[in-house]
Chain A
Amino acid sequence: MNEDNVNRDNVPGCCNTGLESESEPELKFKFESEFEPKIVGFLCNWCSYAGADKAGGSQKSYPPNVNVIKVMCSGRVDPQFVLKAYAAGADGVLILACHPGDCHYKEGNYRALQRHRMLLRMLNQLGIGSERCRFDYVSAGEGDRFVKILTEMVDTIRTLGPINRPGLNNIDEYSSEKRSENGYSIIGS
């Protein structure tokens, strides 16, 4: 799908792929060939955010593709946040909650789970695909688990490739053309 077999070491500036600003237009092409997934991770304050800190404390390195947004409880994650993330350019969304029975707010994680199930159906209907939104549990002590889930998610999205998103965001002419050439489905079409 995406030309993932390109040897990254030989591509100048590839380390910034997916993250570079408008001022570096010459990297656009490399961005396309060197697909770096953009993922938004909604982490609850009490368990999963602390789990992410735990991974940090033990200095476990993992791919830098997940942008963490902290919420007090996974139950706060409005399905619209997830849709907003895709619209704003995310290729995947991760929702991490406390384990069943451990929710700091008793049952917010169950609400989050219910909403996630509903969301998956909607994502399939929208053509985004349910694989692009993962819900899972990470406790405050599970730094390793956090790294594992996050790495898996990055791999999944890397394999899926970018979302084709005309109409959802202001992706530039070139890349949207290029994507439809490549035969990606177009949302809304």
Chain B
Amino acid sequence: MKIGVYFCNCGTNISDKVDSGQVGQKIEGIENVSYFKTLELMCSEEGKEFLHNDLIGEKPDRVVFAACSPREHENTFMRILSGADMNPYLMQMVNIREQVAWVTEDKDKATAKAANFIKGAIKRVSFHKPLEKKSIEMSPDVLIIGAGPAGLKAALTIAETGRKVTLVEKRPVVGGQPVLYEDVFPNLECAPCMLEPMLNEILHGEHAENIEILTMSEVIDLSGFYGNFIAKIRKSPRFVDKEQCIGCGECIGVCPVAVKNEFNNGLDDRKAISLSFAGGLPNVPFIDMKACLRAKVAAPSAEVAATPAENEDCRLCDQSCPLGEGIIKFDDEEEVIEKHMGAIIVAVGASLYDAGLIPGLGYGKIPDVYTAFEFERLLSSSGPTGGELKTRSGSTPESIAIIHCVGSLDSNHKEYCSGICCQYAFKFNLMIEHKLHDARVHHLYKELVYPGKEEYLLYKRAKENPNASFTRYSSIDTIGINSEDGRVRVKNTESGKEALIADMVVLCPAMVPTKGSGKLGELLDTTNDMFGFFEELHGRLDSARSKVRGIYLAGTCQSPMNIQQAITQGMAAAGYVLAGLVEGKKLDVEPITAAVDEDRCAGCRICMTVCPYKAIGFDMEKQKASVNEVLCLGCGTCVAACPAGAMSSNHFTNDAIYAEIEGVLA
């Protein structure tokens, strides 16, 4: 074996402290070292050219570069090797600048230390094996879970480049939470009008054919890895032909069954065949088979309000359809669809902290205590009251209390600020003023926040409402809500003041991970943060990436945020997808991974338990571990753990490290 050693003076950065002549003498005679050459500045154009030509001329089997930190120029020298027709892994860099010359006062000591490092590298490099980057075909298609603002924007951005997107939404409509709002902060813009163009673009726009929307669907299984995921999606039957239905709603009027309407948070009823809400897209009704008279369920679901006798033969909806038979499809069935895709964007949104967990607030017991979501629906023209603000008993409220920070900033509940609640509370204030000119609005808050360039102005407007008051409380436990004489009393026990009399109370609870996101996370193998949100790869640098390669995050499933931020994060996730998964491009798989020696593997599976990436699989038939080279990131933890010595890590083999240890100590 012929080993060549190149020594870089790095201008005077290295030569000031390390004497290349002496180093040359110290390594003289070491087995296999065929030459030692000193260059002034190896990374300069002349330096690189010299190396290129010299490697071609000398034809060494292995090369050692004593220069700066490999974090600086390892890639540069690997490329030079490649350019000279050598395998780039057949070299070792020695860090004699950052870790020797710059940190050692005494010149002789520095020279000796540099020689030790170089001896280690010489010993090590002879164990280097040529490694090849493998490349694997990738599917350019993308799966997006959740069709709220974040998921929709991501889908649109990707579809605009001509790429195929499957958008899985568990509800019968797309648009996420904001389609249920009347107006959105900060400018009190009409929410449906704001979202409509984007929804239209998704459903009927120029790139709509690239987006397959699966409503009433959920991902139930996922296997594979970046570039090649396979997802199983369960699509519940809608019982209405989505392609042919014109959304006239004739069928809905004739349906005899009424059930609680979940789109209005149960504040009113809907029919067994129903549109989600007026204007919901796609504008196609669905049949809730649990409620439909045709359902052969013995006990009708508890939510069924009025239950005419079960009737297998009821076809009222079908008969009323102006398009005739076949639009209503009673025989529609659940489907499990399998999709192959390269990347996944999770955008399943968030929900609200359960206000029932703070019993003093009376939520669930006092009828006119609402969550912010419920109040949004009361304000909405597509909501249960058509946008009229009324108490449950039907009267117009004279006074409304808005409790901020419910379960937020509180070590007994959620120790964070969701950041958006103050904004929508100010929005509510202005909408109440707009709808009921004289109604009083009482804000009770722990902290008020209005960061950003528009939020303070919104606060100012809310503050300028002559009927508004703002009172601070220190702990949610000091707030007691009771009902008396048909009105609600809000008592702040610490203020010593009279209880507030309100006709409605709106609670603004912390934003929390949506139900089922834990289960989805398990399925995707992503991690959760301390609050249960999908955990990002890095809070500052990579908040749109999960810790699983190829799975990206967007919107409130990652952290509480407003629509603007959710949309931006949707685009960020799309950006990652488009940059990484390029049509026709293969996935480069780094060769520095673990590898199993099957002859030695005893099948104990310890490696599987220590692998942080689930990169080790188990071949049941052979009873041997196997490494997935795409998922393996080459940390080597399994190698150190294997009791049989059956695991090795490419480029960091035991032999190479032992040799380096001997070399530096020689």
Using known A-B contacts A53-B69, A71-B652, determine if residue A89 contacts B102 with beta carbons closer than 8 Å: no
Using known A-B contacts A19-B112, A19-B115, A69-B660, determine if residue A61 contacts B26 with beta carbons closer than 8 Å: no
Q: Which residues of A contact B70 (CB under 8 A)?
A: 70
Q: How far is the CA of A108 from the CA of B240 in the complex (A)?
A: 53
Q: Which residues of A contact B104 (CB under 8 A)?
A: 61-62, 64
Q: How far is the CA of A111 from the CA of B108 in the complex (A)?
A: 38
B-facing mask of A114-132, CB < 8 A → 1, else 0?
Answer: 0100000000000000000
Q: Which residue of chain B is the closest to A18 with respect to CB atoms?
A: B112
Q: How far is the CA of A55 from the CA of B612 in the complex (A)?
A: 30
Q: How far is the CA of A86 from the CA of B664 in the complex (A)?
A: 12
Q: How far is the CB of B74 from chain A (nearest CB, A)?
A: 11
Q: Is the CB of A21 within 8 A of B26?
A: yes
- Number of A residues, CB within 8 Å of B: 46
Q: Which of A15, A61, A89 lies in contact with B103, CB distance below 8 A?
A: A61
Q: Which residues of B contact A159 (CB under 8 A)?
A: none
Q: Which residue of chain A is the closest to B649 with respect to CB atoms?
A: A76
Q: Is the CB of B640 within 8 A of A67?
A: no
User: Main secondary structure on chain A at its contact with chain B?
Assistant: mixed
Q: Is the CB of B97 within 8 A of A56?
A: yes
Scan residues 80-104 of chain B and give those whose CB is less than 8 A from a CB of chain A.
Answer: 95, 97-100, 102-104
The reply on A186 being an interface residue by CB < 8 A is: no
Q: Which residues of B contact A60 (CB under 8 A)?
A: 103
Q: How far is the CA of A115 from the CA of B643 in the complex (A)?
A: 13
User: Main secondary structure on chain B at its contact with chain A?
Assistant: helix
Q: How far is the CB of A184 from chain B (nearest CB, A)?
A: 19
Q: Is the CB of B637 within 8 A of A84?
A: no
Using known A-B contacts A49-B71, A57-B102, A89-B665, determine if residue A64 contacts B109 with beta carbons closer than 8 Å: yes
The reply on B526 being an interface residue by CB < 8 A is: no
Q: Which of A69, A75, A88 lies in contact with B637, CB distance below 8 A?
A: A75
Q: How far is the CA of A147 from the CA of B99 in the complex (A)?
A: 11
The reply on B110 being an interface residue by CB < 8 A is: yes
Q: Is the CB of B98 within 8 A of A105?
A: no
Q: Which residues of A contact B639 (CB under 8 A)?
A: 76, 78
Q: Is the CB of A19 within 8 A of B113?
A: yes
Q: How far is the CA of A85 from the CA of B662 in the complex (A)?
A: 7
Q: Is the CB of A111 within 8 A of B641?
A: yes
Q: Which residues of A contact B649 (CB under 8 A)?
A: 72, 76
The reply on A158 being an interface residue by CB < 8 A is: no
Q: Is the CB of A75 within 8 A of B635?
A: yes
B-facing mask of A69-112, CB < 8 A → 1, else 0?
Answer: 11111011111110011001110000000000000111110010
Q: Which residues of A contact B115 (CB under 8 A)?
A: 19
The reply on B120 being an interface residue by CB < 8 A is: yes
Q: Which of A20, A40, A56 lies in contact with B664, CB distance below 8 A?
A: A40
Q: How far is the CA of A110 from the CA of B178 in the complex (A)?
A: 43
Q: Which residues of A contact B665 (CB under 8 A)?
A: 38, 40, 67, 85, 88-90
Q: How far is the CA of A84 from the CA of B654 in the complex (A)?
A: 11
Q: Is the CB of B112 within 8 A of A67?
A: no
Residues in chain B within 8 A of chain A (CB atoms): 26, 69-71, 95, 97-100, 102-106, 108-110, 112-113, 115-117, 120, 547, 592, 610, 612-613, 633-637, 639-641, 649, 652, 654, 657-658, 660-662, 664-665
List of 8 A-B pairs having minimum Cβ-Cβ separation, nearest first: A56-B98, A76-B636, A75-B637, A67-B664, A19-B112, A105-B635, A73-B635, A15-B108
Other A-B pairs, 20, CB within 8 Å; known A62-B104, A69-B660, A76-B652: A15-B106, A15-B112, A19-B112, A49-B71, A53-B95, A55-B98, A57-B102, A67-B664, A68-B117, A69-B120, A71-B652, A72-B634, A73-B637, A75-B635, A75-B640, A76-B636, A106-B547, A107-B637, A111-B641, A147-B103
